[in-house]
Structure 1
């Protein structure tokens, strides 16, 4: 393993190469062309390249000198960093990912600029999913803010930090719609709703890329995973997907379209197959849809060895055929498998892969490198000093705290237990009461868990000396602690209130962490039952990367906060809400079911021919389970405030002209004694259409701030385009008829309801 040192000679070379680069032949070619519209220098480079060098430009490898948690997330093929430098110099790779920051990048780029034949700059990529050194809430948590501007701001900061560490490209955002909460990667997306996913996909791309890809403060985004990875059967990661083209186009493709429209210049093919065709070899998906329909002009990268996995799928006979199928389908860049380097020279020599196809992908890679400013200055993002200067700045930690605070969802607050007084005796109980280890959550390559603010630290900082605080784990995350429950019961008996910090650990969410049962782990449930038996009031602080099926003492707690994985400022953000310094404003981007067996469950389902009402009634031969309603326990969009908001006085015109619009409105009133921020949501249903439509569909939302006793009329405008659906030919259409409208606090709440009719042309 490389020891992390960098020679003085290499550092000096890096400093001096900027001037040497200015006189290089490639730099001269660069000056002769507009790289964004007519990269003539790229064509000149391609003409000089051997087939081996071209294959190298299409090959991306994990860094032998990895950063932080990189090896655990994506194991490198080897740890021989000097050999990887030689591979780079020889033109056998286009770049590396999840490397060890600016020092590593400096050593590699210096060697390539000094010794390689063509001096094509390396590209440095990384999994910067929800922060670099400053960690923000998991993407599903940020979606709970219902504020895309928050996601844009945190992505902007992540790019600022990561670009300062030499990173040109992030493998984010994940824009997979997640409708089965057994799937661990639900934590990385924006939940179950298409509109919310579209808005957050575009926001994160804008945040990462800024207004100029060549800026040393930005990095290229990579919307992933194309496509329908979130629809894996049984919520089992990497599993097969079998969906209609209608569902692909209505649900799973729109967030990708939004990301590309926002300017994303790369995308990642998914692991899964769809209807028997793995995405990595799906030319209809990667060429017909992506290139021809969407007009995507960037690069397509395989997921980690997903091209090689065509063999395991039973789609390719061997690795050689896998390389051919992937490239011909439209995968420009092979990640980690080394297939292109190994087989493209022979495939071209045999005529099985045209040189023009290879050149096309090389052209795309080189053009993107030019757009990133790497031909202009290969060291534009590489600075050891700047890396330290940008890390965890106070102003960025403040944004992390705000984002975390706004991500928290208040599920229940019986008898107004919250907010808590900053006096008395508070017992923090549970495996997450005083632990830093699970604040950041999964998919963090570069963050140090020791830097995170745990719950106990946040609570103590908020209350000072005004109250006493005890911390008792009670149990491990998935294993009991000897004597743990007895200690927790004693702590609860001695307290005025219990803050019960339970849920999922980092290792239970994220990639390859599918669960058949999305309940609280048994040792923690046993802890909750024992603590509840003391009679001391309980606030459940739930740590989770997905929606969960809560039971018993957890479900019945007087107050429940969904706090997800909140990142660097976890403890401070939770304390802000617990003690009422800020009001809760988050809403669920995923439906919390009654039972795990309801999965996949999502609010915009179809009615079926035998719909069941949302009630405790069990009419015969209707669409319901024997033990629970066909509904969510806490639905999409749900979240309470410290105020009390009522919806009234719907104003919904009777008709909309074919080329007209309608303004729909409702009055929201805070009848409570505390100020609050309410998320007002607009849903519609097309009652009768030539293709059946969901029972509700989110069309818009707006946050309003309400002082005690204040009321506001919230207005939305609906136009015919808002009523479009894909008809029988999959083309966008709309038909005259009646539309239900709800202005409501959730997808299951009646709120302010009305009906209008779309008149024919």
Structure 2
């Protein structure tokens, strides 16, 4: 089917058929679904007519080749014009083979492995009948109280943008039409959902437009520049208007300024929520505001289905708005070749062979190891030796709750647990296990058993953390410490005097008081996915040396949040020379800095940085400065290091961050080996949004930093010289 044919098809459609194309429904509404008719809860109250279902554009949350084929075939038997359905699902960090949560993937700083993870997720999902994934989620996150930080790759606009591009390229590959192992990507949540006030899900976002453009929009733009086919609106307000009905954000910025002509879909129920937000009196007004804003598909409410035709008849909206939305939906179906191949890549036989393939699990294991951050390693406690007797203690020791939220159709029972992986690796007599506590409760008998296990061991490995239900959507927390039961467990076990290695499983940065001081070594494993246990044994025993670096800061305590590395200075920063010591921007009861900063992560070896040099101390619009630094492996084993480059603008028209990540490089060095790392600095890297929102740079003094993280750096200075003082 060609574009002209799609236009011809549009002309044949009645207004009711067109409006139904703008409706997305869950699987139970459709004939052929395994759950057909099982419509419960709020879904049961939706005013959906048979005609809506027969002409709906898409199905939400259904996968599995057999069911998809069944629904599609029955749909086409009854759809007057033979318009196929789109099948959409949340394939966030894996389909059946589950990879680490995206926040963990961000800590890998490994764009190739990230891309590979979405290629595999797409392959498994496509053969199971999925056409569109609601991913990547690229919301910039700075507040770990928000449960959905686990879906993002972190707090930095540059790093998030690189991952957004990699994820989209992995999902969509090079040609959606011919490559049936790809899926269309849907970047979310547009825009600034990660800035929800107080870290409370669905809450208000209130940002200046400059801050929105500077920090929050770049990753969405990177996804779209990579060809992302769809955008999902955010639940939150932007400049006082809910995103789903925000014409300035969706039609003016996204469509007109950025030129996005793909499909725009609401999040679940977000159109009707315009009423609760207080910008629509009823569902009719909600429908009007959403269509005027450029929203194509309404997910799981029926405001469009009920009122768009009436709005057209009353002259309140132009039928052209509906036509352009339908045309975008039909065009996506055409790109996916659904008119020629309605079931696309869905295959019951291929599904059995491909989904959960051993090669896919191997990739998950590799990425889990690359995503686990070594936060502490006193006295070279790690790596362990197979000759040591290990006491594995804690609620995650024998837990398969390793997949995390939004785990596709992953099966917890198929996840490799810590105890299984250790049993496979160690002599039988060198492993003792005690649960120690549950996630949130502890008994004296559990404590006694844990102490007994610790007393018999050479080393204690504590497996602690949050359950997956404590992170993710609608799981915001004000207390981001480990539950008290686990804090009591670690404090009690540490008194036994044995070396303590703590492995953390969680979906957000935590306040680690009560953990870090009782741990000789500390591994942040996040929710590591299907092969989590094996990946952690690879790390614990030195088969792999940790190389991950935090992509989101760990606060000293919750009272600091939001805490992030690329903050602004105040007029009285700590140590301000012209202020009395007490009268500076400081806490009375806490340091300003996080416990573990952005970019931080240790290795089993050590690296020394020296010989930091700039090729020149002057930069112009047409020149390049080469920044070079020598990195040497000063330890006793090979290792990978992520060398990071940051820049600070000392005097801008607008206040600038104390430093901003501009580049990074991964290197692998043998003991005693060194390498000169070179970065290119160009004028375009110094641009930012000025008061008039122009994207330009300012002449003047800059500081460039290089090092292993955002705090421990070497620095030098250069000057940008421009005609007229700034350039675009």
TM-score, scaled to structure 2: 0.95
Question: In structure 1, which of residues 437, 459, 462 is the aligned counterpart of residue 422 of structure 2?
Answer: 459
Please say if 1:705 is aligned against 2:668. Answer: yes
Deviation at 1:78, TM superposition (A): 5.2
Please say if 1:334 is aligned against 2:298. Answer: yes
Match of 1:567 in 2: 529
Deviation at 1:129, TM superposition (A): 0.6
* 1:141-169 Cα distance to aligned partner (Å, 9 max, x none): 00101011111100000000000000000
Deviation at 1:559, TM superposition (A): 0.3
Deviation at 1:89, TM superposition (A): 6.4
Structure 2 unmatched runs, 5+ = 724-728
Please give the alpha-carbon distance, in whole angstroms, between the structure 2 residues aligned to 1:194 and 1:543: 25
Please give the alpha-carbon distance, in whole angstroms, between the structure 1 residues aligned to 2:492 and 2:110: 38
Q: Structure 1 runs of 4+ off > 4 angstroms? A: 65-71, 74-80, 83-89
Match of 1:684 in 2: 647
Question: In structure 2, which of residues 555, 564, 571 is the aligned counterpart of residue 609 of structure 1?
Answer: 571
Deviation at 1:680, TM superposition (A): 0.3
RMSD: 2.2
Please give the alpha-carbon distance, in whole angstroms, between the structure 2 residues aligned to 1:185 and 1:581: 32
Match of 2:692 in 1: 729
Please give the alpha-carbon distance, in whole angstroms, between the structure 1 residues aligned to 2:709 and 2:41: 45
* 1:304-349 Cα distance to aligned partner (Å, 9 max, x none): 0001100111110011111111111111000001221122222222
Superposition pairs of residues 487-566 of structure 1, within 5 angstroms:
487-566=449-528
Q: Is the 8 A contact 2:269 2:300 kept in 1?
A: yes
Question: In structure 1, which of residues 278, 282, 290 is the aligned counterpart of residue 254 of structure 2?
Answer: 290
Match of 2:361 in 1: 397
Deviation at 1:211, TM superposition (A): 0.5
Match of 2:236 in 1: 272
Deviation at 1:738, TM superposition (A): 1.3
What secondary structure sits across from 1:667 in the alignment?
strand
Match of 1:157 in 2: 120
What secondary structure sits across from 2:67 in the alignment?
helix
Please say if 1:626 is aligned against 2:588. Answer: yes
Q: Is the 8 A contact 1:605 1:694 kept in 2?
A: yes
User: In structure 2, do the counterparts of structure 1 residues 499 and 236 end up closer, same or farther at CA, with 3 Å as the change threshold?
Assistant: same
Question: In structure 2, which of residues 369, 373, 380 is the aligned counterpart of residue 409 of structure 1?
Answer: 373
Please give the alpha-carbon distance, in whole angstroms, between the structure 2 residues aligned to 1:475 and 1:342: 53
What secondary structure sits across from 1:685 in the alignment?
strand
Superposition pairs of residues 120-159 of structure 1, within 5 angstroms:
120-159=83-122
Question: In structure 2, which of residues 422, 446, 451 is the aligned counterpart of residue 484 of structure 1?
Answer: 446
User: In structure 2, do the counterparts of structure 1 residues 599 and 356 end up closer, same or farther at CA, with 3 Å as the change threshold?
Assistant: same
- Higher mean C-alpha deviation, range 262-271 or range 110-119: 110-119
Deviation at 1:192, TM superposition (A): 0.3
Deviation at 1:639, TM superposition (A): 0.4
Please give the alpha-carbon distance, in whole angstroms, between the structure 2 residues aligned to 1:168 and 1:160: 11
Please give the alpha-carbon distance, in whole angstroms, between the structure 1 residues aligned to 2:507 and 2:522: 16
Please give the alpha-carbon distance, in whole angstroms, between the structure 1 residues aligned to 2:618 and 2:275: 57
What secondary structure sits across from 1:516 in the alignment?
coil
What secondary structure sits across from 1:539 in the alignment?
strand
Q: Is the 8 A contact 2:377 2:521 kept in 1?
A: yes
Please give the alpha-carbon distance, in whole angstroms, between the structure 2 residues aligned to 1:316 and 1:216: 41
Please give the alpha-carbon distance, in whole angstroms, between the structure 1 residues aligned to 2:444 and 2:235: 42
* 1:256-286 Cα distance to aligned partner (Å, 9 max, x none): 1000000001000000012210000000100
* 1:219-272 Cα distance to aligned partner (Å, 9 max, x none): 100000000100000000000011000110001110010000000010000000
Q: Is the 8 A contact 1:455 1:571 kept in 2?
A: yes
Deviation at 1:70, TM superposition (A): 11
* 1:38-74 Cα distance to aligned partner (Å, 9 max, x none): x111221111111111111000012118999999xx9
Task: Kindly tell me the number of residue pairs found equivalent between the two proteins.
Answer: 715
Q: Is the 8 A contact 2:63 2:125 kept in 1?
A: no
Question: In structure 2, which of residues 610, 620, 626 is the aligned counterpart of residue 657 of structure 1?
Answer: 620
* 1:625-662 Cα distance to aligned partner (Å, 9 max, x none): 11121111110000001111111111123222342110
Deviation at 1:554, TM superposition (A): 3.5
Q: Is the 8 A contact 1:320 1:343 kept in 2?
A: yes
Please give the alpha-carbon distance, in whole angstroms, between the structure 2 residues aligned to 1:618 and 1:708: 48
* 1:8-33 Cα distance to aligned partner (Å, 9 max, x none): xxxxxxxxxxxxxxxxxxxxxx2xx3
What secondary structure sits across from 2:188 in the alignment?
coil
Q: Is the 8 A contact 2:28 2:34 kept in 1?
A: no
* 1:469-528 Cα distance to aligned partner (Å, 9 max, x none): 122111111222452122111111111111111111101111001010111111110111
Please say if 1:251 is aligned against 2:215. Answer: yes
What secondary structure sits across from 1:144 in the alignment?
helix
Match of 2:726 in 1: none
What secondary structure sits across from 1:64 in the alignment?
helix
- Higher mean C-alpha deviation, range 545-554 or range 572-581: 545-554
Superposition pairs of residues 431-442 of structure 1, within 5 angstroms:
431-436=395-400, 438-442=401-405
Q: Is the 8 A contact 1:85 1:111 kept in 2?
A: no
Please give the alpha-carbon distance, in whole angstroms, between the structure 2 residues aligned to 1:108 and 1:593: 48
Match of 2:129 in 1: 166
What secondary structure sits across from 1:647 in the alignment?
strand
Q: Is the 8 A contact 2:147 2:473 kept in 1?
A: yes
Please give the alpha-carbon distance, in whole angstroms, between the structure 2 residues aligned to 1:618 and 1:748: 25
Please give the alpha-carbon distance, in whole angstroms, between the structure 2 residues aligned to 1:266 and 1:163: 17
Q: Is the 8 A contact 1:62 1:75 kept in 2?
A: no
Please give the alpha-carbon distance, in whole angstroms, between the structure 1 residues aligned to 2:302 and 2:439: 39
Q: Is the 8 A contact 1:62 1:76 kept in 2?
A: no
User: In structure 2, do the counterparts of structure 1 residues 84 and 326 end up closer, same or farther at CA, with 3 Å as the change threshold?
Assistant: closer
Please give the alpha-carbon distance, in whole angstroms, between the structure 1 residues aligned to 2:220 and 2:655: 24
Deviation at 1:299, TM superposition (A): 0.6
Q: Is the 8 A contact 1:417 1:558 kept in 2?
A: yes
Deviation at 1:612, TM superposition (A): 1.1
Q: Is the 8 A contact 1:88 1:95 kept in 2?
A: no
Deviation at 1:360, TM superposition (A): 0.8
Deviation at 1:76, TM superposition (A): 7.3
User: In structure 2, do the counterparts of structure 1 residues 76 and 200 end up closer, same or farther at CA, with 3 Å as the change threshold?
Assistant: farther
Superposition pairs of residues 297-336 of structure 1, within 5 angstroms:
297-336=261-300
